[in-house]
A and B are shown apart, each in its own frame.
Chain A
Amino acid sequence: MRLACITVPNFRIALERRRAPALAGRPVAIGEPPPGANQVIDCSPEASALGVRAGMPLRDARTIVPDLVLLPPDPVYYGRSADALLDAIEGAEPYVEPGDPGTAFAAIDPHADGAAQADAAARLVCSVRDGSGVEASAGVGGSKFIAWIAATVSAPGEAIVVPTGREQEFVAPLSTSFLPVSYEAHHKFALYSLQTIDDIAALPIGPLQAQFGAEGRRIWSLARGIDTCPFRPRDRATQVSGTMQMPAPTVNSGALIIAARQLSGRLLQQPAMRYRQVRQVRLRLVLLDSGSWERTLTLREPLSDEAGIVFVLKKLLEPLQLAGPVEEMTLEFLGLASETGKQRSLLFAEQARRRAQLLAALRQLKTRFGGESQVARVVEVEPWSRIPERRYALIDYDL
């Protein structure tokens, strides 16, 4: 198998610069201010050169580089851009596996010669440039590790092909910092003066396992250009999503929970959800004055009932502290699974039957009037607000 790796160095910074070209050439960092993690998430090469590192507290980063441009993270923008990048690659090659943000692997023709593989990688770079507007670099190799390392060392807009059988030779002169292993392992490399991958390849497997434990075998394999990590193309499973605009920007968790309940109810009624259960939910919040928030939750068990999903979302939203008021909420159901049999209550069968009839009537009304629900109910949004029209809202009676 031959794999191409497409990577955009400092993906989030590249996206911020695409949005604000004036940031080009300036030291830029992305960090989540309090009440968030209060640390640097990503930084530009200019900031790295001055000593800023991912994971560093924001206060330290500002102290080291006083003119550092510090941006709040916008995970919704990054997520959509990463999807656009994957779609662009998928337009050129059908089998694509997403890696870290801004990195993807694509299977290319294993029978093509070196020049044809380089052409295929160059086409992928062009697709990314045309499709998502960022400059990527590419590498081709027999495994994900080799393809990734080739893409990482190649210049932006270019591609390096590592011929079959020359993997170890290719990685040998590179720094051990390229090895995708734990922080502790990198720390030990420094302690033992293991500077290049060739220094590690010269060691037998026994001492490496003795020093690094279970990770020792992987280090030994990678240093010889051997990566057994399988290629798993992404599954384009059905996703069900819905968006709701808030009547006014709000930080009130009560209003957010109402919106989440309304969205869950709507999504569960979509045809794609018939006889399906949800394994993951993704909640995206667009904040006022740019910025966003995103979380993906994997449920303990697949759910198809609204109460269960709302319970999970409530637990997520209640303690939430955001950097700004929410303007828009998007809820996605991911990893849809087949519904399994569930024991229903015998006691409330009549109630459930009436409810189903009511829902069917509401659906018909809604379809008849162009998606606009004809029945609404009043909910408290911010009952304590000094602005009267913020206190209550109408939500579509879909439940």
Chain B
Amino acid sequence: MVKDPGAALRTHRLRPLAGPQPLRVETDAHGCPRAIAIEGVVRKVTSAQDRWRIDDEWWRETPVSRMYYQLQLEGDRVVTVYHDLPGGAWWLQRY
């Protein structure tokens, strides 16, 4: 017999996969990332391998406008981050 957990029922949903995670980023004078804090450790950016911009859903109240960077960090780790242009926050994007 399974014990009743007494938890409230919820409406069903599809859960988005690979959602972005908030990130602390130190930028240079041009607004490009110089160092980022991942898992509590600040890592310097050794090079920006790529940079692209996405503008979508401009017809909505909260349009999507992101500047993406593919960065190589010290230790040769490569990550993709983006700068949310309307909100100003930085996010780590996983694929």
- CB pair B14–A247 under 8 Å, yes or no, is yes
- CB pair A259–B16 under 8 Å, yes or no, is no
**Distance in angstroms between the alpha carbons of A35 and B5 in the assembled complex:** 47
**Distance in angstroms between the alpha carbons of A282 and B56 in the assembled complex:** 33
- CB pair A244–B17 under 8 Å, yes or no, is no
- CB pair B17–A392 under 8 Å, yes or no, is yes
Q: Which residue on chain B has the smallest CB distance to residue A366?
A: B2
B28: chain A residues at CB < 8 Å are none
A379: chain B residues at CB < 8 Å are 14
Q: Which of B7, B8, B12, B19 is the one whose CB lies under 8 Å from A243?
A: B12
B54: chain A residues at CB < 8 Å are 386-387
**Distance in angstroms between the alpha carbons of A372 and B94 in the assembled complex:** 24
Q: Which of B8, B13, B56, B93 is the one whose CB lies under 8 Å from A247?
A: B13
**Distance in angstroms between the alpha carbons of A244 and B16 in the assembled complex:** 13
- CB pair A263–B16 under 8 Å, yes or no, is no
B30: chain A residues at CB < 8 Å are none
Tell me the interface secondary structure of chain A in the complex: mixed
Q: Which residue on chain B has the smallest CB distance to residue A247?
A: B16
The yes or no answer to A47 lying at the interface (CB within 8 A) is no
Q: Kindly provide the distance from the CB of B29 to the nearest chain A CB, expressed in whole angstroms.
A: 29
- A379-399 vs B: 1/0 string, CB under 8 Å? 101000011111111111000
A364: chain B residues at CB < 8 Å are 2
- CB pair A370–B5 under 8 Å, yes or no, is yes
B5: chain A residues at CB < 8 Å are 367-370
**Distance in angstroms between the alpha carbons of A115 and B3 in the assembled complex:** 58
- CB pair B14–A246 under 8 Å, yes or no, is yes
Q: Which residue on chain B has the smallest CB distance to residue A369?
A: B5
Do A388 and B2 contact each other (CB < 8 Å), given the known contacts A247-B15, A371-B9, A394-B17? no
Contact residues of B between 9 and 67, Cβ < 8 Å to A: 9-20, 54, 56, 60, 64
- CB pair A389–B12 under 8 Å, yes or no, is no
- CB pair B15–A376 under 8 Å, yes or no, is yes
A248: chain B residues at CB < 8 Å are 16
Q: Which residue on chain A has the smallest CB distance to residue B93?
A: A388
The yes or no answer to A349 lying at the interface (CB within 8 A) is no
Q: Which of A258, A262, A266, A389 is the one whose CB lies under 8 Å from B16?
A: A389
- CB pair A244–B15 under 8 Å, yes or no, is no
Do A244 and B6 contact each other (CB < 8 Å), given the known contacts A386-B54, A389-B18? no
A244: chain B residues at CB < 8 Å are 11-14
- CB pair B12–A396 under 8 Å, yes or no, is yes
- A234-247 vs B: 1/0 string, CB under 8 Å? 00000000111111
B15: chain A residues at CB < 8 Å are 247, 376, 393-395
A389: chain B residues at CB < 8 Å are 16-20, 93
The yes or no answer to B4 lying at the interface (CB within 8 A) is yes
Q: Kindly provide the distance from the CB of A290 to the nearest chain B CB, expressed in whole angstroms.
A: 13
B94: chain A residues at CB < 8 Å are 388
Contact residues of A between 183 and 233, Cβ < 8 Å to B: none
**Distance in angstroms between the alpha carbons of A275 and B66 in the assembled complex:** 52
- CB pair A243–B11 under 8 Å, yes or no, is yes
Q: Kindly provide the distance from the CB of A183 to the nearest chain B CB, expressed in whole angstroms.
A: 41
Q: Which of A246, A259, A367, A393 is the one whose CB lies under 8 Å from B17?
A: A393
A247: chain B residues at CB < 8 Å are 13-16
**Distance in angstroms between the alpha carbons of A328 and B14 in the assembled complex:** 11
Q: Kindly provide the distance from the CB of A267 to the nearest chain B CB, expressed in whole angstroms.
A: 10
**Distance in angstroms between the alpha carbons of A331 and B3 in the assembled complex:** 29
**Distance in angstroms between the alpha carbons of A328 and B60 in the assembled complex:** 17
Do A378 and B17 contact each other (CB < 8 Å), given the known contacts A367-B2, A369-B5, A370-B5? yes
Q: Kindly provide the distance from the CB of B90 to the nearest chain A CB, expressed in whole angstroms.
A: 15
Can you name 15 extra interface pairs (CB under 8 A) apart from A371-B9, A391-B18, A395-B14?
A247-B14, A247-B16, A248-B16, A258-B14, A266-B12, A368-B5, A372-B10, A381-B14, A386-B54, A386-B56, A388-B95, A389-B17, A392-B17, A393-B17, A394-B17
- 9 A-B residue pairs with CB within 8 Å: A245-B14, A248-B16, A370-B5, A371-B9, A387-B54, A392-B17, A393-B15, A394-B16, A395-B14
